[in-house]
């Protein structure tokens, strides 16, 4: 099945800009689209608070429009409601009836840890929560933009595969010297234990979802869920 783009070049193409007022005033210029994931459902009841709407998520490289320095490069992720399957090309009034709001774990996590001044997660640099206008794919549906820190370092696994009996357990991690492995474990415990007490956890509990910066001896847990 061909994946629908949902993120038009006129709004999300290279050199387009997105303005934020929270947590501070900033303008970010899109440099490149990195990925997109669609989660379209066959049916959806907007009157049911337990029913989740169809959504799309895209990630972009962005740059602070007021700076040309490499340190001004960050990531922008956009979440938005999209139409239920088979209604993509229905009149806007049909799509408007699907409009609702939705909470995404990553958005809630970055907002929460920004307010708490936490440093084990990626810094929140901009967030904007809006409703789609009449030209949106679901008029009145939600759309959330957030810009977050790009950090130095490497992921602690060489494969996207989850650990399993026939898979070598994170051989990449074992290539570190023992002293550095111990430091990584120490930093993980310092970061993870406070998160667990607050009922937050990594979205994917695998080593390739941890980022280790050996220069600063800092471990980041980038994507969290409640």
| Bigger pLDDT: 42 vs 142 | 142
Between 166 and 126, name the one with better pLDDT. 126
Q: Considering the domain 9-149, what is its CATH architecture? A: 2-Layer Sandwich (3.30)
The pTM for the full model equals 0.84
> b/e string for 50-80 if b means 16 or more Cβ within 10 A?
eeebbbbbbebbbbbeeeeeeebebbbbbbb
Would you state the pLDDT for residue 47?
A: 66
Can you give the residue ranges of every domain in the chain? 9-149, 154-225
- The pLDDT value recorded for residue 8 is 92
34-38, 89-93, 195-199, range with the lowest pLDDT: 195-199
Task: List Cα–Cα distances, 75 to 24, 31, 145, in angstroms.
Answer: 16, 10, 11
Measured distance CA(33)–CA(58) in Å, rounded: 7
Gap between the Cα atoms of 123 and 158, Å rounded: 25
Q: What is the pLDDT of residue 88?
A: 92
41 has a pLDDT exceeding 80? yes
């Amino acid at each position: 099945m061909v994946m629908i783009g949902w993120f038009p070049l006129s709004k999300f193409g290279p050199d387009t800009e997105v303005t934020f007022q929270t947590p501070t005033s900033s303008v970010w210029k899109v440099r490149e689209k990195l990925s997109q994931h669609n989660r379209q459902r066959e049916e959806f009841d907007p009157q049911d608070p337990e029913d989740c709407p169809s959504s799309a998520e895209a990630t972009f490289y962005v740059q602070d429009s007021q700076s040309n320095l490499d340190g001004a490069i960050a990531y922008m992720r956009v979440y938005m409601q999209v139409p239920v399957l088979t209604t993509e090309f229905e009149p806007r009034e049909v799509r408007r009836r699907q409009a609702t709001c939705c909470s995404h774990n990553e958005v809630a996590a970055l907002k929460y840890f920004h307010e708490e001044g936490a440093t084990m997660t990626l810094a929140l640099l901009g967030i904007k929560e809006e409703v789609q206008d009449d030209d949106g794919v679901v008029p009145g549906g939600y759309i959330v933009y957030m810009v977050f820190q790009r950090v130095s370092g490497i992921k602690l696994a060489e494969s996207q595969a989850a650990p399993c009996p026939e898979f070598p357990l994170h051989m990449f991690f074992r290539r570190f010297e023992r002293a550095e492995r111990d430091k990584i474990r120490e930093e993980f415990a310092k970061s993870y234990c406070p998160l667990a007490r607050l009922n937050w956890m990594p979205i994917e509990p695998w080593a390739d979802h941890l980022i280790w910066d050996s220069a600063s001896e800092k471990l980041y847990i980038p994507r969290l869920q409640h």
